[in-house]
Amino acid sequence: MCSRFSFYSTYPRFAHRIGELRVDDPPAPRYNVAPGTWISSIRRQADDPQLTFDSVWWGYKPKWAGETAPQPINARVETVATSKFYQAAFQRYRCLIPADGWFEWLPGPSPKQPHFLCREDREPFFFAAIWTERADGKPGVAIITEPARGSAADVHDRMPLILTDGSLEPWLDPDLTDRETIRRFVRHVPAEAFTHWAVSTRMNKPGEGEHSLIHIADGV
C-alpha cells in the first residue's frame, strides 16, 4: 500500500519529463505526506487539453457515493478497472502524483519499524493515480498499488504503481479508455530500480516533517 510519501524535488527536476504544465505555485518540500491532506498532482481537467499541476485531496470518494461510503487512499491495480467505485475514474480521470520516495512498515511489535523506499539513483518519479469529483466539488485522489516487487517486497506485500517516463503521456491520455489498450502502453519502473533503508520511528507521527526523517535511522 502507500499511506505516506515524500515529495521534495524542485519543479524543474521532474516537470521536464511531462512537458508544458499550467502551474499556480510550485509546492514546498514535504518529507512526510499523509492521507487526508492536499497533495500535488498532474492531471487533465474537463475539456482542457493542457495538463495542470495542482492540488488534490488524498482521499477518493465520488460525489454520487453515500455518506457511509469509504474514502480510500489507495486502489488496487487488479480491480481498479472493473470496480464500480473506480471504473469511471480509471477510464477518464487518471492522474500522476509526483514523489521522491514512500514509507512502509515492517510487521512486528509497536512501534513498527518504518522504511524509506526510493529509486537507487534518487531521481523523482510518478505514482499512477485516479481522481474523482467529491461531494464538495473538490478533486479527490487514490494512488494505485500493485504487488510489491524487488527489494520493496522485503518491507511490504504492496507498493505504489510507479510509471516509466514513456508511460506518463499514455496514462494521462483521456482517449485511452480500454483496460487492455492501457496495459499495452503503460509500464511500471523495473523492480531493480528501487532501494530502501530503515528510518526513525518519529515519522510515524504525521505532524513530523523534517528532512531528517528520510535519513538512515541511528543504530541500523
What secondary structure does DSSP assign to 137-192, as a single string? S-EEEEEEEEE--GGGGGT-SEEE-BB-HHHHHHHH-TT---HHHHHHH--BPPGG
Q: Is 2 a catalytic residue?
A: yes
Q: What is the pLDDT of residue 38?
A: 96
Which of 2, 118, 146, 169 does the annotation list as catalytic?
Answer: 2
Grid cell digits, residue 125 = 518519479
The structural domains of the chain, ordered by start, are: 5-214 (3.90.1680.10)
pTM of the model: 0.95
Which of 67, 78, 95, 104 does the annotation list as catalytic?
Answer: 104
Q: What is the pLDDT of residue 219?
A: 52
Q: Is 104 a catalytic residue?
A: yes
Q: What is the pLDDT of residue 18?
A: 85
Q: What is the pLDDT of residue 111?
A: 86
Q: Classify residue 44 by burial, with Cβ atoms within 10 Å: 0-12, 13-18, 19+.
A: middle
117-135 exposure pattern, b = at least 16 Cβ within 10 A, e = fewer: bbeeeeebbbbbbbbbbbe
Residue ranges of the chain whose pLDDT lies below 50: none
